Structure 1
């Protein structure tokens, strides 16, 4: 079957680390082009690639079937709208858009133009997340009481990427890191009934949010999502407590680190965590109390791109629907409102 000619809208970290390695090593895709207005960075790694100096020039190339919008968050809507209007299939980097209104417009436009639209929520394919799904599906800790998920860093300095530190729509850790945790929570537990959010700024001279603590209210349990840039000693990435026991797991998926080290996703042992990072299960099984480390699932972001190929060539469902991406933005908007009004917001 004919590979899908694919182009990226930028070649910064997102393009270089999270997209190009998967597109270029998957035989179902042909890494055809990239939009770089002033540089030719992609050509250094992919000599056969075509570099476009304007978005319009790239979108006018009839050879391109799929475009990845991996530009700064605030530009997602503008770029995505132009891609869809050009009749190209499209993957939009998370967060999908900055508002629910923008997301709804893109979904309707994609349906009108009959193009495939998906959002790149790659953290669904992290090893720790896949392990948690397994723990819950096998009911290893009993009925859930509380779950807490962290995406922490120790990074008190402002980013050299000015667009990440300029207080515009879609900027801040709630959009960048929070969108990962929110999507994972929605995949595990569905839509919450309500939420309460505490958002803040702690880095000196920062003008954008770098801390969040969001509590999601479900009928019989609570889910807490947290992130801070001042966590030098890593906390467990996932803490789950049920009526039979607990499961504690580090955030230790190796894919981002390996991609930054220029390792290719088609290499042996891809996505396999060190055994030292196995999660701790302390629970009751067959009337006995057990405390043991359990094997970690294998992470693989390539599953996402395999799903995109099937959606375009075989008319199957996309791996992440645009509606899923929109619901993440709905949660973010509710969290912003909750923080501003200092109250619980019903969903």
Structure 2
């Protein structure tokens, strides 16, 4: 069975991520795209000639042939568009972060349940090569008892982009909601909910309106997790650093999938899609006997298409949904709790 997909939003997320990924998954057919700008429409006609371009979202909501609506817009309209799509009887995928508030997330979850429709959030970092590799290293037990994990998501842009909503002082803007959402989701998948957190959410660049530097500590009974990100990191830092009673694992480099998509490549074009070069494989250093005490660990392949394959299978009743709205709601809760921690300058318990 083929599922027809309507895509709302054809900016960076829609163009670079969602449209090519949807088109690469067997059983999904990109049929309608909401795009108002002329330049976006030109790209659509060139790359997706069979897609119907619309300038009114109601054309997607009212189309009985559309099974799944994907929302790839700015954060401020995630809630309203999700609500409208669900009430129109559509399954929905929305870009992360899910919503700007916990209350909005809870309302959407209730609507999805009452409508009997799937609702998922694009937490694509679960399909990153580095994260998949870290999961394997932890599961191997070679680190002994894990005591500390640090995850970083850094960029370098020492100027402000004009007309960029993510850099304005708006709900859900800034890199804490943008990049921090990925790091929280990964941590929750590895360890579950923490007991408490402490946050530093700063604005470091001249004139910036939104958070562009964060450090958040998540406290577990035996593990300390540090989440960090900044827009002013010129020299690359390890993406993951794990320390245990029997050793350490340090993983540099960035999952290659988004870069490939930005270059116009798709999973259908590359047989080695998601495969990292050896120079950014992680180093495992343990108390094992030589020569196995310090060695490179081949990275797992990243697999962005796996997200949409799972959504397809969940709609068809062939699989459990991997990224549930309830899981995404937990991310929103911790994003907001970190803001409160920074405002109050104290450690807060996680209820």
TM-score grouping bracket, smaller chain normalisation: over 0.9
2 CA distance for matches of 1:239 and 1:335? 22
**Which residues in structure 2 correspond to 1:122-271 (within 5 Å)?**
122-266=124-268, 267-271=270-274
**Count, aligned residues:** 346
Matched, 1:337 2:340: yes
Match in the other structure for 1:20: 19
Task: Name the counterpart of 2:300.
Answer: 297
Task: Please say if residues 24 and 305 of structure 2, whose CA atoms lie closer than 8 Å, have aligned partners that are also in contact.
Answer: no
Give the direction of change, closer, same or farther, for the CA distance of 1:287–1:25 in structure 2 (3 Å limit).
closer
Q: CA deviation at 1:286?
A: 6.3
- Residues 195-243 of structure 1: CA deviation (Å, up to 9, x unaligned): 0000100111111110000000000120000001111000111100000
Please give the alpha-carbon distance, in whole angstroms, between the structure 2 residues aligned to 1:166 and 1:250: 30
In 2: Cα distance, 1:318 partner to 1:209 partner? 32
Partner of 2:61: 59
Mapped partners of 2:179, 2:216: distance in 1: 12
Counterpart position of 2:6: 7
Given the alignment of the two structures, is residue 346 of structure 1 paired with residue 349 of structure 2, yes or no?
yes
CA displacement at 1:301 relative to structure 2: 0.5
- Structure 2 unaligned blocks of 5 or more: none
Deviations 1:286-306 (A, max 9, x none): 698701111110101111111
Residue deviations 1:86-105, cap 9 Å, x none? 00000011000011110000
SS at match of 1:213: strand
**Aligned position for 2:102:** 100
Q: In structure 2, how many angstroms separate the alpha carbons of the residues matched to 1:317 and 1:37?
A: 35
Residue 315 of structure 1, CA deviation: 5.0
| 1:307 and 2:310 matched | yes
> Does the Cα contact within 8 Å between 1:238 and 1:251 map onto a contact in 2?
no
Cα distance in structure 1, aligned partners of 2:223 and 2:25 = 41
| Distance in 1, Cα, partners of 2:343 & 2:291 | 48
1:316 aligns with 2:301: no
Q: If the length of structure 1 is used for normalisation, what is the TM-score? A: 0.97
Tell me the SS of whatever aligns to 1:285.
coil
**Contact kept? 2:184, 2:331, Cα under 8 Å:** yes
TM-score normalized by structure 2?
0.96
Q: List structure 1 runs of 4+ shifted beyond 4 angstroms.
A: 286-289
Instruction: Say whether the 8 Å CA contact 1:130–1:299 is kept in structure 2.
Output: yes
Tell me how far apart the structure 2 counterparts of residues 343 and 160 of structure 1 sit (CA, whole Å).
34
Whole-Å separation in 1 of the counterparts to 2:278 and 2:27: 32
Query: Hey, what does 2:74 align to over in structure 1?
Result: 72
Question: What does residue 35 of structure 1 align with?
Answer: 34
Q: Is the 8 A contact 1:144 1:242 kept in 2?
A: yes
| Pair 295,287 (structure 1): closer, same or farther in 2 beyond 3 Å | closer
More displaced stretch, 233-242 vs 152-161: 152-161
